[in-house]
Structure 1
Amino acid sequence: MLLGFSEFRCFDLHISGPFRLPVTCGAKGTKIELAGRISKDLLSIAISSLRNSTLITSPSLSFAMFRSSISKTAFRASKSAFRPVVSTGLRASSARFASDAASLSGKIHQVIGAVVDVKFDTDKLPPILNALETDNGGQKLILEVAQHLGENVVRTIAMDGTEGLVRGHKATDTGNPIMVPVGPGTLGRIMNVTGDPIDERGPIKHTKKLPIHADAPPFTDQSTAAEVLVTGIKVVDLLAPYARGGKIGLFGGAGVGKTVFIQELINNIAKAHGGYSVFTGVGERTREGNDLYHEMQETKVINLEGESKVALVFGQMNEPPGARARVALTGLTVAEYFRDEEGQDVLLFIDNIFRFTQAGSEVSALLGRIPSAVGYQPTLAVDMGLMQERITTTNKGSITSVQAVYVPADDLTDPAPATTFAHLDATTVLSRGISELGIYPAVDPLDSKSRMLDPRIIGQDHYDTATKVQQMLQEYKSLQDIIAILGMDELSEADKLTVERARKIQRFLSQPFAVAQVFTGIEGVLVDLKDTIRSFKAIMNGEGDDLPESAFYMVGDIDHARSKGEKILADLEKN
């Protein structure tokens, strides 16, 4: 039978139930052959549904020919029974969306800044999120497929600058998403978003590459036990403990010791757990990344001659938005290998998670999406969730993430930080006021919070000790105004005792870091959690009342403080 319908694009169709109809292009007036008994009215509904689809952007294609052996009862007589197959754009394992024709090639059709359109000669197009490769002045340029526009044109986002790129250049489908090297060979090296080394030390030795887009581990593989990751840093382990496989927000301005704190965490994780760390610089200053690299060499976190403890992945603020939007996933992929293949407890640093959101907003605008609140991308929560869900504990190992969070204009209700907060298990706040007292790490014991501070998780003894320490520090804080105006003499005896012990606790929260030993000359100390709890209980119970305040500054446990205090008292007696 000949049916005179309007022209429309070729599609695959899903029909209610487990059926799939191939729709192929034919010449005008093609006979539509149906093996099953399907009425002309029902077929009209199907083709009308296609004609009305928003995906039909060009009228240049001819009628479609349906071949089906499905009986009439398999169909629902409604437009909703027929829908075009479209890519959801969800990140998935490479097997699920890799092209089966890696040699597929097209030509650059249009270049608008970081957006590059590529036209193919065939209807077979590379899937969303696939990487295309082209040559730009002798340099390899990776393009990531973002949209299918119609007329065999795909819109891509460039992972590097497009200066010098011209229409007609060949672009080849790699058949996979962006693939990056993983494994021990990445330790001590710096790579960019596409896995290329940028430290001028030659190729990265690797035996395996993995796609940066992947599914989160299935629920059956995830560990449900709430477990504390002991860092060896007293103030963190006692007052705002980190969850193994959790996500921590690190708040700190310039010059309060954020870099040293990060380096000590990397060092302690390697010592206490034998685990590796991955540092991902997302949209921050190139100078800071360079300084961090050289400081890590000085502190032996990176050993150019021997084994290093950290892999570095950088996509700094001078990079195009495509690179900044994907570099966090590159770092996460490196960390996932250590977790899944080597069973490690991995520490993943992301500095700064706000720049990840900011880059996603820029890419969204370049792709022409209608912005959401405050100009952010409409897919903000999805983009953040897809990455954060991959940071988790499995039955093999864990990824614990420490994410520096920039809060624009100090507005915590801004969609970018607000979306990040929903995923955080703990917040570590570095305070300028505490750093000005010379107390390092300058962690604010009253502002830092953790969901792990729960007696059912950490035990009643740890919980009681932590809350009493916070209570004593809060009482001291409330008495400071009175002390500043009237002096210590106007306080009651109970308040005087509280202030004396609180000041000792405040100094005891300081700790010598191994990575700062080259600057301070004091040997670094990693304190066990049991010793931390025992020491703070002893101070609150008055066991350190006979010791001077200076005995509690830059020491490990209470035994270290006592020996230091006795030495100070002995020196005073001699003088």
Structure 2
Amino acid sequence: MLPDAPVAPAPLPSLERYRALLENAMPMVVEGRVREVVGLLAEVDGIPGRLGEMCRIERAHGGTDIEAEVVGFKGDRTLVMPLGDLHGVQAGARVVARGGLLTVPVGPEVLGRVLDGLGRPIDGRGPILASHRQPRAGGSPHVLERSTITQPLSTGIRAIDGLLTCGLGQRMGIFAGSGVGKSTVLAMIARGASTDVNVIALIGERGREVREFIERDLGAEGLKKSVVVCVTADQPAVLRVKGAFVATTVA
């Protein structure tokens, strides 16, 4: 009888993602109170925040908390801009500082996922345990550090490749009326282009069109190598701006 073959030990799980979670953890909670709401701004006492820092406003009666960003100061008070509807917020509402700027998960873990304007998954497939989170992109590369356009980009659409050849790194625009097929052309490029990863930002789209684009136009094969950032037209304008920054950061 032959002796049993030695069993290889199971590989140890990667600790990088857990190290990233620990780096973003807050061992101490800093909180304040809403004292006044004027227009789109809320004045908060008790939070010595810095510009761009994220915080969370609690709604009354157990509603969903509202994400907010520090945008200014007024005397001893901090001005925060909510990134959602203020319905249900009352004077004295609890505001909890998150202790950092807006960061976005990046890396292979976000491939095939659909994110909102703050980089949170909205596809119902659970949280993204990315090994790295990147601060929101700001500014553009120096003009002398940008690469020149020397290589063609194959879009997978022969009419474009043959008559309107595009270059790698070139900016392109698709302009047409409503219902003509802009999203269809965009999905065809995402599926057929000679790219490894697509970052698709759906900013200001109608809500019903988002699911149609992902499931019908982009499809499972296109989504597999794409990251979709979605902020619909019915969401606040400031959140739509954030969505554009999130997509740029992921890219």
Question: TM-score band (shorter)?
Answer: 0.7 to 0.9
Counterpart for residue 201 of structure 1: 125
1:139 aligned to which of 55, 64, 81? 64
Amino acid at match of 2:36: Q
- Aligned pairs for 1:105-124 within 5 A: 105-112=31-38, 114-120=40-46
Identity %: 27
Partner SS, residue 319 of structure 1: coil
- Measured in 1, the distance between the counterparts of 2:112 and 2:141 equals 27
- Measured in 1, the distance between the counterparts of 2:45 and 2:176 equals 47
Q: Alpha-carbon deviation of 1:316?
A: 0.7
Bigger share in helix: 1
- Measured in 2, the distance between the counterparts of 1:179 and 1:154 equals 21
- Aligned pairs for 1:518-537 within 5 A: none
Q: 1:114, 1:322 within 8 Å by CA — same for their partners in 2?
A: no
Q: Alpha-carbon deviation of 1:154?
A: 2.4
- Measured in 2, the distance between the counterparts of 1:169 and 1:229 equals 52
Amino acid at match of 1:187: L
Q: Alpha-carbon deviation of 1:219?
A: 5.0
Q: Which has the higher contact order (CA 8 A, sep 6+)?
A: 2
Over 3 Å counting, the alpha-carbon distance change for 1:203 and 1:104 in structure 2 is same
Q: Alpha-carbon deviation of 1:212?
A: 1.9
Amino acid at match of 1:242: C
Matched, 1:312 2:238: no
- Measured in 2, the distance between the counterparts of 1:222 and 1:130 equals 30
Partner SS, residue 139 of structure 1: coil
Q: 2:190, 2:198 within 8 Å by CA — same for their partners in 1?
A: yes
1:177 aligned to which of 75, 82, 101? 101
- Measured in 1, the distance between the counterparts of 2:112 and 2:198 equals 10
Counterpart for residue 201 of structure 2: 280
Q: Which runs of 5+ in 2 are unaligned?
A: 1-27
Counterpart for residue 147 of structure 2: 223
Question: Which structure is larger by alpha-carbon Rg, 1 or 2?
Answer: 1
Over 3 Å counting, the alpha-carbon distance change for 1:112 and 1:158 in structure 2 is same
Q: Alpha-carbon deviation of 1:242?
A: 2.4
Over 3 Å counting, the alpha-carbon distance change for 1:236 and 1:194 in structure 2 is same
- Aligned pairs for 1:448-463 within 5 A: none
- Measured in 1, the distance between the counterparts of 2:149 and 2:124 equals 43
Over 3 Å counting, the alpha-carbon distance change for 1:127 and 1:117 in structure 2 is same
Counterpart for residue 301 of structure 1: 222
Q: Alpha-carbon deviation of 1:330?
A: 0.9
Counterpart for residue 18 of structure 2: none
Q: Which runs of 5+ in 1 are unaligned?
A: 1-101, 303-307, 336-575
- Measured in 1, the distance between the counterparts of 2:250 and 2:115 equals 11
Q: Alpha-carbon deviation of 1:328?
A: 0.8
- Measured in 2, the distance between the counterparts of 1:312 and 1:130 equals 25
Matched, 1:241 2:165: yes
* CA RMSD of superposed structures (Å): 2.5
1:129 aligned to which of 52, 71, 88? 52
